[in-house]
Amino acid sequence: MVTMAVAGDGNCMAHSVSRAMTGLEVFFHVLRTELHAELSSNAEFYRDGSIASGFYTQEDWTRDLESAGPSQMGQAGMWMSGMHIFGMANVLRRPIFLVDARAGGTMEPDLVLVQQLSDMGFSRNAAVRAAISCQNRADECMQWVLDHEHDPEVRTLSHASCAVARLCLI
> What pLDDT score does 152 carry?
64
pLDDT digits (tens, 9 = 90+) for 15-37: 888 887 887 888 888 998 999 99
Q: Judge whether 81 and 157 are in contact, CB under 8 Å.
A: yes
Q: What is the pLDDT of residues 46-101, one digit of tens each?
A: 877 755 566 677 888 888 888 887 776 666 556 677 788 889 999 998 887 766 54
On the question of pLDDT at 103 being above 50, the answer is no
Q: Which of 86-90, 101-105, 110-114 has the lowest mean pLDDT?
A: 101-105
What integer pLDDT is reported at residue 85 of this predicted model? Answer: 86
Kind plus residue range of the DSSP H or E element containing 65: helix 58-68
pLDDT at 167 over 50: no
**What is the identity of the amino acid at 51?**
I
pTM for this entry: 0.57
Residue 5 DSSP SS3: strand
CB atoms within 10 A of CB 148: 14
User: Can you point out the beta strands (E) in the chain?
Assistant: 96-100, 165-169
Confidence of residue 2 (pLDDT cuts 50, 70, 90): low
Any idea where the domains of the chain sit in the sequence? 12-169
